Every structure is written in C-alpha cells, then in structure tokens.
Structure 1
Amino acid sequence: MASPSTTARLAAISPSTSVLELPGVKDMIALRLDRLGITTVRDLLFHMPRRYEDTRVLTPVAQLRAGEVQTSQVVIRNVTVHRSHVKKIWLVEASLVDGRDVVGAVWFNQRFLMNQLRSGMEVLVSGKVETSRTGLTFRNPTFERVGSEQRHVGRLAPVYPETEKLSSARLRSLIEPLLPLADSLPDRLPSEVRSAEHLMGIGTALRQVHFPDDEQSRARAHERIAFEELFLLQLAAQRARRRRLSSAGVAIPYDVEVARAFAGSLPFQLTEGQRVAAHQVLTDMAGSGSMNRLLQGDVGSGKTVVAAMAALMAHRAGFQVAVMAPTEILARQHQATLTQMLAAHDLAPRLLVGSTPARARREIVEAMANGRESLLVGTHALIEDDVVFSDLGLVVVDEQHRFGVAQRQRLRRKGALMPNFLAMTATPIPRSLSLTVYGDVNISELREMPPGRHPVATRVVPPYQRDEAYAFIREQIGAGRQAFVICPLIEENDKLGVRSATAEHERLRDDVFPDLRVELLHGRMPSREKEERMGRFARGDADLLVATSVIEVGVDVPNATILVIEGAERFGLAQLHQFRGRVGRDRHRSYCILFQSSIDDEGSQRLETVAATHSGFDLAEADLRLRGAGDVAGLRQHGLPEMLAADLLDVAMLQRARAAAEAWLDHDPELTSYAPLHEAMTGYRAVFDLD
C-alpha cells in the first residue's frame, strides 16, 4: 500500500507526465530512458520485463555450495576497501554472518558501495558463490536491505531491456512507486471481453507483471497484456476487412476466354501455383468489394505473369492499371517483361519514373487522365499529385514493404471507386504473421519454381577460406560466367568492420582480379549512371558487379551465376534469400558464397540456416524463430504499434484474439460503444483503412 507521502506525490502525476517531472530523474537519466523509447510515465508502466530473477529460495550460509547462484539472508559484520595487487582495481570486501556461519562477499570496481554497506545491517545477498583463499565468497552479488517488501532480492525480480548506465535495479526503483497509477489507466479491453476470456484488469496486470506475487500471477499478467495487443490488432484488421467488403469497389468481370488466350500466348506453361493464384486474383476482382490480396513467392517464381493476366483482364473490361515498383531498375524491368507478355494482346505498358523527360512525362500524364492509355508502370512518380487516372481498376505494388503505408494508400485513392489492390513480395510472410499483420489481406502463394530454375548451391565461407573462394570465382568467370558481389555499406565504417562497396570495388579491381572487368553500382549514383553500369553488366561487358543492396529486387542477368555477399551476417535471412534469387536463372549451375567478416556462434547459425534452406517460406519461419517476434520485419515496417508482450508465434492465442474481435464487431461494428477501445484504434489507422 502506498504511503501518504507517496500518494500526495502521485496526485500530481498522470500517465502522460514526462519522466523529467519524476523525483530523481535528471536530464542524463531522461536521455537514457529515451534510448529505450521511454518519455512518459505510461511508457515506464508498459516497459515490459524480458525475464525474471527468482531469488525467493533462501539458502543458509552453512549449506552454500561453490559454483552455484544462491541467495542468503545475512548480517554484515564488517566492510573494507582496497586496491588489488596485480590489476590495481578497487575491491570492496565484506564479511557476512548467519548465526555462527560466515561467508565472504567481493565487489569489483564499485567503491561507492562503501556508502551503502554498514556493519550490523541485515541484507539479502544473491549471486554466484565461489571458493577463495578465505573460504566461500559471493562474487559481485546483488543485495538489498531486509524490509517488509523486497524490491530487488528475495522475490521474482524483473529484468528489463536496459541501456548503458541504466540498470534493471534503477528501472525497478523508477517503476515500482508508479504502479498505483496503473489503476487510473483506461482499460482498453471491455469488461465483457475480459470476463469471457478470464483476464485480469490492466491495473492488476501491470502490477503483477512488474512485481509478481508468484509465477502463476506473472503468467496471468503477461497473458492479459499479450491478449490485448493481439485483440486490438485483430479488431483493426477485421474491421478494415468488413468495411472493404461492404464498400463500393471496382468489379472486373472474370472472362475465362481472356485468361485462356493469355495463357496460350505465353512461350511456357503456367505452373499449377500460378494457375491457382491467377484464379484467386481474378475471382477477387470480380467480387463485391475491392480485392486486397498479397501474392508471395520466391524471386523468380513467376509473380509478374499473374499480375500481367490481371492487368489484361482489367484492360479488356475498360479499366486502367497502375504498377508501382520501388526502384527505377525494377520498374524498367517490369515494363520490359509486361511488354513481352502483353504485346500479343495489344496492351503496351507506359513507363513513368523520376528520370522521365518533362515532355514525355506530360504526354503520359495526359494520356492516363483522358483514358487513352491503360497500363502505367513506374516508381514513386505514380503517386505525384498531377498523375490522374480516368478509370483506375487495378493497382499492383511490387515489394510493397519498401513503400510507406501512406504512399500505397495514395496510389489506391487515385480512382473514383476503390480499385482492386494486388501486392507482390519475394519476402514471404511467416504463416503466423499472416494472421496478424495481414489480417485484412487474402494471401496467394507461389511455392514451386518454373521449369528450368535450379536450387542455388550456397556455402558459408569463413575469413581463412577466402582465397579458395576467389580461385573458384576466377574459374567460373573463365568459363564465361559473371558474378555479383554485394556489400552492406557505401562508405567504409571501421566500427562496423564491414567492407563497403567502394572500398571492395577498388580492392577486387586492383588486388584480387586485376585482369578482370570489375564494375561498381550503388544507390547514391544518379539514375542514368546506374542504368548504364547495369546495362554494361547485363550485356556481358563486365565480369563482376560490386553493388550495395540496390540490386536486392528485380535485377535480371541470367548469365550471372555467382553471388558473393560480403559481411553476410549483417543481413537478415529474408534479405539474403532475396539476394540469392538474383542467380539460378539460366541452364548453368549457380552458386551463392556467404563471406563472414567475423565468426560468432549466432551469426554462423543464421548463415548455415540460409545455406541449408532453399525455400523462402521455410526461411521466413526460421527467421522469425531465430530473431523472435519482437524484431519481426512485419510490424515496424508496416507502421503497427510494437508488440510488448505478445508472441506472434502463439497461434492458439492469435485465434482466441481473432474470435473475440469478430464477436465484438458483431456486437459493435462501428466501435463506438466503448470509448477506450475506439481511441485505441488510432494507432492502427496508418495500416488499416478504418474510417
């Protein structure tokens, strides 16, 4: 129970109060808190522990064992401080007694503890016990004075995400006095939902998650907070879905003969996956409410063919189509591919990018506005204000995670009615995420590769085997092949220790392959220069192309059969897999060489996972397991609030939350009956169309 003085201080504080107004929080501490994303009292209350130290079991000094972490209740007999003989560091040493039994304690370089440790003080001490020349000794233990309520030792003590000079002990001291305020927080879960799901209120949950009475209370508190996060996410997704399906959208009739004619005109047979995906897309476009579908498949799985069929269907029905790609290189490639596929059907795509000359741009913009042209491919240039469509029926966005939410929505709102929306990605979404981040999206998957595509042989190369790898690359280039070399940075950064593209280009050109033609490509080059250099490589006028991640999506050079990735441990698994899709596009065997710039167990495990896994879908799941749900690409890059407690791999809780959200929407479709819930939706408007 809070003391009268604490109650008086809390009366002047609210959840929105800045941490700078809290007692004892000076500018420096506020700056450290800000590094953790904490600026207000509410942020502190929702700073979730990542684990707990359980020091509740007390071991009498007589029963302490060397080599184990243990906790004892002792009285300090005496404390001394002196410098060590060899390393000259300060040692604070204490003699601790429990009845007649004595144990030592030593702290390194913490001279300030002399002001905290007093003879005769009764403390709980917890840490690893080791054997020293004087007997058993606690080494660098945590301690706390024995009192009516323990905060740090002798309980389940929370261990938080920390930053330099801001420990969990300091965070506990900041958070614990604020916990009475948790009861003043509006509970975003309606009482009906809490009752049906047997969940505690938010005030109780926050008190128990920070300072739990026992393990069961901790687990229930964590469940309560996690369920709320998933419930809000599901509520936003399902509300957006219901609104979309009930709103007027562009309906494009499914003409089976058009689909058959298109498939028959291709120089290859569609895979079963492409046929199924195309049928799903065309069925959606013909339905009520506009389509919102994600087509995912590995690089080279044939997503563009599905988009081309959808574009032709929209064109034949009298509608226009916009295709947006994240880079000029990829936009030009899409235009070339769509031209090949649609030429036989009298549909020619126009191209609008940042480098389009002013005169050509005016002509294209006018042609789209008056309906003379049906298909426009481009980059961000498509969402500029003067680009207007007379009758937009289908929007295709490639690698949609590379665009901001607002950019995607601006393109969709270029039509009088809501156009059909098809997103394509070569970064497959883990199945568990498809229930959350993509709750308002139907998903099509291309899991099989078209005939002629072969798995890429992938090998992790430690620093000491680099010369062997270079000899292999030279041998392959001698046989007529080409190689990509990808680096994570543009300029040298010694602190990170990764080879930048510029430095690597010079090293390969001057030292490793002086007799070969080595080209450089990076994102800071002007568009025209990038195209010229890419063109030289594509024509075979260069043997190696050193690049930054600018070639992550879209670059197609079938004769390039070797992919070298420098500092491979710096990239995510999904990104490495996308890079790997740049090769393996020809009849020749292709290879991916993952150069490690440093060796550590975690980095090696991730790279070996890439080497052993050829499916992007399997890698996406592995990436989620290795990195954890808190670092999932899906959330932050889609503008969603960060998950504090929810585990996106917990499919059972996801399904519970989805069912609860559906039930609440049946009862309150406009989300107006419970104000805290309505306000909570604000954080999801950047992602879902809720209004």
Structure 2
Amino acid sequence: MNQLFETPIEYLKGTGPARAEVLKKELGIYNFEDMLRHFPFKYIDRTRFYKIREINIEMPLVQVIARLTSKEIIGEKHTRRLVAQVQDDTGVMELVWFQGIKWVEKYLLVGKAYIIFGKPGSFNGKAQMAHPEIELYSPEALKRKGNATLQPVYNSTEKLKQYTLDSKGLQKLTAFLIEQHYKDIPENLPPYLINKLKLMSRADAYRHIHFPADAAELNEALRRLKFEELFFIQLKLLRNKLLRVQKFRGNVFDKVGHYFNEFYQHKLPFELTGAQKRVLKEIRQDTQRGVQMNRLLQGDVGSGKTIVALMSILLALDNGFQACFMAPTEILANQHFQTVKGVLGDDFINIALLTGSTKQKERTKIHRQLEDGSLHILFGTHALIEDKVQYKNLGFVVIDEQHRFGVEQRAKLWRKNVVPPHVLVMTATPIPRTLAMTLYGDLDVSVIDELPAGRKPIDTLHFYENQRLRMFGMMKEEIAKGRQIYVVYPLIQESEKLDLKNLADGIEVMSREFPLPQYRLSIVHGKMKAADKDIEMQRFVRGETHIMVATTVIEVGVNVPNASVMIIENAERFGLSQLHQLRGRVGRGAEQSYCILMSDVKLSRDGRIRLETMVRTNNGFEISETDLQLRGPGNIEGTQQSGVLDLKLADLAADQQLLLLARHTVEEIFEKDPQLAHPENHILHQAFMSKKDGLTWDKIS
C-alpha cells in the first residue's frame, strides 16, 4: 500500500490530535486514504448564476452577481441586525445578518459587485436572503473559490460540527489534502488499461469527484472510481478461482456405477428436464477434472434442484465417497431428508438426519456409522459441522440456501476431509446476473431455468380489501374440489405483539367464514413450540385440515402438492423475494394453482411495482432484477454478511454495463497472464497482494 494513503490523519495540516480523534470515532477516517474516500453525498450546483427577477422562495439555494447599493445596522440588542441592499439589471434584493454583524459590515463596500449565494426568502413582499455567503466579484474569484463549480456536500455529525468539521470544514481538509499531495496519489491500474478504456487517472478522479468543475468532469471521475471498485472485486474473485484450480486437487469421480444407474433406471419419479440434464452434465465434468468443484446451483422453488443434488451425491457414492447435505433450518433439513428417503426407499442406501433435536442415542449411532463408512449420506443443519462429527471419506457436500450460513461455518465443512470435498451450493432465491457475478464470481454457476413437465404456471391475482368476498368465494370453490389453502400474514419484526394480533384477527375472520365442522384450520406461527408447530404442519400435510393460517414460518420447508392456493395478506409489506418464495409453496401438483395478493387500496410506489411484478411474471430471475432495482444490493438476502459488497460508489443495479466491462477486462488479463507476472501487470500484482486489497474471503463464497 502506498505510503501517502497510510499516513495517519492527524498528520494532515489543519487536523491535529483532537480533530483526528473525532474523525476516527464519527466517520472511521484513520488515514489519508479514508479522507479521500469520504466522498460527497451530493453537490450544490454553483455553475449557474440567476438574475434577481428569476428567484423565488421555492428554490433551495441560488447564486447571483449583484452590486451593493446600501447598508445599515438597525435595532438594539436582540433586534440588532445588518441590512444591505443589492441590485442587478433586473431587480433589487435585501440581504440580512443577525450574527457576525461587525465583521460582515466592514467587508461590505457600497458600489462594489459581489457573488452572493444562499437560500432565497421574502420579507414584506420583497426578495430577501438571510446570512448568505458573500464574496467580492472578480473573474479570479470565480475560479479560485469554486463559485462557478459543483460544490461538494459531505456527511457530518453534531459531534464533528463542535470541532468546526461540518460539510464546509471537511471540504477544506479534503481540498488541502488534494492540493498538497495530488502528485503522490498512487495509480493502481496499468497505463495500457487506462488508455484502452479511456479512463481518467486515479489522481484526477479523486480531485474531480471532490471538486468537479461541471457535470461532465464529475461523471468521468465517477466512471473511473466505480470501474476501479468493480474491477478489483472481479480481480480478487477470478484470481481466487484460478488459485483454487491450481492449489486444491479434487477427488476424481470417474465411475458411473450401481447407485446412479439403479436410481436413474428404476427410482427416478419423473423425467428429467433439459435444464436438469445440462446441470448434471456440468457437475459430472467438474468431478472428473481432478480439481475441487465449487459450483452454485440456482433454480426457482420446485424446479428440481434436490433431485440434481441427489444424483450428484450418487456419483460420489459410486466412487467410494460419503456425502452430506446441509440446510439452514431443521424444517428444511427434515424436508430434504424425507424427500430423498421417499424416492430412494428404505433398503437402497443408508441415510440419516442430524439436527439439534436428534437424541443422544441416535447421535452416537450416526457418529459411529460415519466414521466406519457405513453411513452414506448425512442430512442436517449446522450440527453437521460440529468437531465431533467425523467422516471416513467425505467427497461431496451440498449446502442449501447457503447465504444463511456464516463464512466460518462453511469453512468447517471444507476441512472435513484431507482432499477438500466437491461443493454444490444451492439457492432458490434467484440472483440477478450482476449480483451473482459479484457475490459468487469465483464459483461456476449452473441454472435450472425450466419447471418439470406437467407443472402449470401459478396464476397470480391482486385483490384489494374491498374484493375480500371474491377471495372467500375462490377459497370455497377450491376446497370443494378437494384442495388445500395457505393464508399467510406478514411477520412484522418491529412488533411481535402486532404480528400475533394480525394473525389472531385473521384466525377469527377465517373461523367465522369457514366454520367447523365443514372446514378445519391449522394455525402456525413463530411463537409456538417446535413440537406444536410440527403437529399443526403434519395435520395439514396429511390433508386433515383445509386451511393453514400462518406467519412467514412456512416460507420454506412445507411441501404439500394438494395445496393449490396461497393467499398473502398485506402483501405490500413483503419484499419481492419473499413473495416469490411464498408463491412457490403452491403449484407443486398437476392442478392449476393460484396466488392471491391482498393489499390496502393505498400503496406506495415501490409496493405497487412489487405487486404488479408478481402478477406479471413467474420468472424468478426477472423478479430478482426488479428487486435489485428497488432495494439495492445491500438489502438483498445474504449480501450484507458476504463481506464482498463494500461498494462506496458503484451500484450493481445502475452500473451493470461497467460491471460487465470490469469482468470481461479481468478475464482477458488472466487469459494472457494468469500469474500477473508480466511487467505491464506489476502494478496489479502489487495491488492484489497488498493487505488492503488482498483476498480476505473464505474459499467457499
């Protein structure tokens, strides 16, 4: 890392120990680099000068050039104020000061022209400006003070303001840093790349992002610094991928034997889709290369990811290895276990389930069978990564909804075998292409983008509160056909009491509309004991109840092919990803299924877009792109804990083209110079190896 960037902030002229301490505590500014990277959050446009006649009180801040025609101090003590009159060729305006009167009065010279900047107002029907910034007009003044530029505005705090480090104070410190050290700002991209991509130099970019002369200059600075952010993320990810291929050998699955063939020919419950076959082929190729596989499998709810994972596991078994299947919750781990047990039968291979609820006697048996190799597949939650869980020969790992696991948890699975096992991570949360490229850029990505044959697309309807009777009518029609229904209420995290009240009100309404003995209800919410919750869910699974009234606990882990209607109450309170997950609970049988989104008539813009998107499409990837546009990458499930998306400037929704350019550029560089050993790439190698820009993420992203 360059010496300038590492210089402690107290060594910046005008800072000193006390100011340095408050900068560290309030803004995390420890050194010169942190100061340079405390970017303005907006700019005041001082490129335009208004005529007095053009000004109105609705305008936020305006700038005029006008001549001072008079000044006087009026009033006594508390009413004392300085009033000045200025005029241009279109009109007259009054300026007023209530503080610093003596100092300002000396500065004001009648007959001179001034640059005046402030918030317009009016008093007694006259244009007025209180406490404006004011400076003698000259062509030099325009250039020197940035009075004809875009003026930066910085985030500050009340504590900082006590040390005169408001936006203006921070602007002064930044200006001084750039003036004094502009030539020392280190470049971290090679000249050939800067020329090829027509990028501004790094030093110029820092100068112009803080003090742009105009919008064009600001945009060029932003383009350079955004590209740099995205480029180094891609450099890290793709370099990590290369290193993994070079460093971590993988077990070779060169046989397709008894387990795979027997399952494929006699036990497979349905014909594989073209997408499933393609993904299996990709996994098969990965596991034959002698390099450890790290693959992300994306696919909508119900697209058949579990079967693909199982058939991949059977390849591992055919080659003498064990496998494990880790899910984030007991409900989901149990669902995968039951699904696989159902299609395999009891006498085909030895499988077991290990969760926090597993009794000690069963746990001891599982540990013993894992160590002697007689247990083939272990399903479970994070219990699988406990130190006492030892495998004889772990060769294949499946991690479902992997973003719910922390980095260290995943790393423990990685270390369960001398040769790292092949890893397949799965998600039913479709990830936009740009986000996948950034979060999972060092993984190979497979996508199951078609549903199994015979599945009908779910019909999604949006009803307002005044259409509730129509909704009840549809429910009764479906129940009469022998179908079952989910009714889901939002989980309002701010108030569990409010959440339960919501649910209680819903239960009351449903009980009144669907009375016993003709109709039976199951009730499930997060406050229930696990055993009670399971009893209620199992009643619904067995078809003993017609309607399940629940909170979002049923988002994952319930598979009832007979359920044909999903009703989501207060649907405007849910995120798109969650709405899509909930909708995926129905449509699992051959019958037509429905998702009904109930909402208030008054909707926010974002709420309306979310519901319109759900009605328009069943495509999870299209939905995820809209979600990215609405919420930004930092709020999409799993991205905050990843540690990758520490983006100060780049926006994955708005800067997709720049991300693609960064990715393509890195791929080209590694194609020619995988070790970054060529002299022209020395600067990249240095940046890559430096402590700040180096790889800090786990091998399993």
Q: Which interval holds the TM-score relative to the shorter structure?
A: 0.7 to 0.9
**TM-aligned CA deviation for residue 13 of structure 1:** 1.8
Q: Give the AA of the match of 1:686.
A: W
Equivalent-residue separation in structure 2 for 1:361 and 1:643 (angstroms) = 44
Note if 1:624 corresponds to 2:615. Answer: no
* Partner deviation per Cα, 1:85-116 (whole Å, 9 max, x = no partner): xxxxx9x9987623364455799xx9889999
Deviates more, 1:203-212 or 1:169-178: 169-178
Residue 361 of structure 1: how far off its partner (Å): 0.6
C-alpha distance in 2 between matches for 1:471 and 1:500 = 28
Which structure is larger by alpha-carbon Rg, 1 or 2? 2
The reply to whether residue 594 of structure 1 matches residue 594 of structure 2 is no
Q: Are positions 1:659 and 2:682 aligned together? A: no
Residue in structure 1 matched with residue 205 of structure 2 by the alignment: 205
Query: Is 671-680 or 217-226 further displaced after alignment?
Result: 671-680
Per-residue CA distance 1:529-567 (angstroms, 9 max, x = gap): 332222122223344334343322232122322223344
Letter in 1 for 2:64: S
TM, length-normalised to structure 1 = 0.82
1:503 aligns with 2:501: yes
Q: Indicate which of 606, 612, 617 corresponds to 1:608.
A: 612
Of residues 312, 315, 330, the one that matches 2:314 is 312
Deviates more, 1:181-190 or 1:277-286: 181-190
Partners of 1:322 and 1:377 within 8 A in 2: yes
Per the alignment, do residues 475 and 156 of structure 1 end up closer, same or farther by CA in structure 2, a change over 3 Å counting? same
C-alpha distance 257-306 of structure 1, shift in aligned 2 (>3 A): same
Name the residue aligned to 2:280: 278
**In the alignment, does 2:50 pair up with 1:47?**
no
> CA separation of 1:641/1:509 partners in 2, compared to 1, >3 Å: closer, same or farther?
closer
Give me the whole-angstrom Cα distance separating, in 2, the residues matched to 1:38 and 1:524: 43
State the Cα distance separating 1:227 from its structure 2 match: 2.0
Contact 2:566 2:583 in 1 (8 A): yes
Code of the residue aligned with 1:251 in structure 2: it is: V
Give the RMSD, CA atoms, in angstroms. 4.2
Which runs of 5 or more residues in structure 2 are unaligned?
Answer: none
Q: Which amino acid in the other structure matches residue 208 of structure 2?
A: Q
Once residues 541 and 14 of structure 1 are traced to their aligned partners in structure 2, the CA distance between those partners, rounded to angstroms, is 74
For 2:688, what is the secondary structure of its paired residue? helix
1:249 Cα deviation after fit? 1.2
8 A contact 2:572–2:610 mirrored in 1:
yes
Classify the secondary structure of the residue corresponding to 1:435.
helix
The DSSP-based 3-state class of the residue aligned with 1:350 is: strand
Are 1:541 and 2:538 counterparts? no
Query: Is 1:573 aligned with 2:576?
Result: yes
- Aligned residue identity for 1:666: Q
What TM-score, normalized to structure 2? 0.81
CA-to-partner distance for each residue in 1:475-518, whole Å, 9 max, x for gaps? 5445543333334436663xxxx995422221122344333544
- Give the match's secondary structure for 1:424: strand
Q: How many residues align?
A: 659
Q: Secondary structure at the match of 1:235?
A: helix
What residue in structure 2 maps to residue 555 of structure 1? 558
SS class of match (1:390):
coil
Which runs of structure 2 are paired with 1:81-480 in the superposition (5 Å)? Answer: 97-99=86-88, 101-104=90-93, 120=108, 122-125=114-117, 134=125, 145=135, 154-159=148-153, 170-181=166-177, 183=181, 188-189=188-189, 194=194, 197-246=197-246, 247-255=248-256, 259-265=260-266, 266-343=268-345, 346-466=348-468, 468-470=470-472, 472-473=474-475, 476-477=478-479, 479-480=481-482
| CA–CA distance in structure 1, aligned partners of residues 590 and 700 of structure 2 | 45
Unaligned runs of 5+ in 1: 1-6, 83-89
- Letter of the aligned partner of 1:610 in structure 2? M
Aligned equivalents of 1:486, 1:115: Cα separation in 2: 68
Asked if 1:13 corresponds to 2:10, the answer is: yes
Could you say what secondary structure the match of 2:63 adopts?
strand
Shift in Å at residue 197 of structure 1?
4.8
Amino acid aligned to 1:290: Q
Distance 1:586 1:567 in 2: 26
C-alpha distance in 2 between matches for 1:475 and 1:66: 60
Distance 2:157 2:522 in 1: 42
Deviates more, 1:384-393 or 1:600-609: 600-609
Which residue of the other structure, out of 531, 534, 547, is the alignment partner of 1:531? 534
Instruction: Describe the SS at the equivalent of 2:213.
Output: coil
2:487 pairs, out of 485, 488, 501, with 485
Q: 1:354 Cα shift?
A: 0.7
Deviations along 1:199-249, whole A, 9 cap, x unmatched?
A: 445443222112113333322321222122122211211122112222211
Whole-angstrom CA distance in 2 between matches of 1:370 and 1:527 = 33
In 2, Cα distance between equivalents of 1:311 and 1:601: 46
Residues 222/470 of structure 1: CA separation in 2 closer, same or farther (3 Å cut): same
The answer to whether the 8 A contact 1:235-1:665 is kept is: no
Deviates more, 1:465-474 or 1:284-293: 465-474
| Matched letter for residue 369 of structure 1 | E
Q: Conserved in 2, the CA contact under 8 Å of 1:95 and 1:103? A: no
> Does the residue aligned with 2:292 lie in a helix, a strand or coil?
coil
Q: Secondary structure at the match of 1:513?
A: helix
Amino-acid identity (%): 34
Which is further off, 341-350 or 400-409? Answer: 341-350
Task: Confirm or deny: 8 A CA contact 1:505 1:519 kept in the other structure.
Answer: no
Pair 1:660–1:399, CA change in 2 (3 A): same
Name the residue aligned to 2:696.
685
CA contact (8 A) 1:312 1:347 kept: no
State which drifts further: 145-154 or 642-651.
145-154
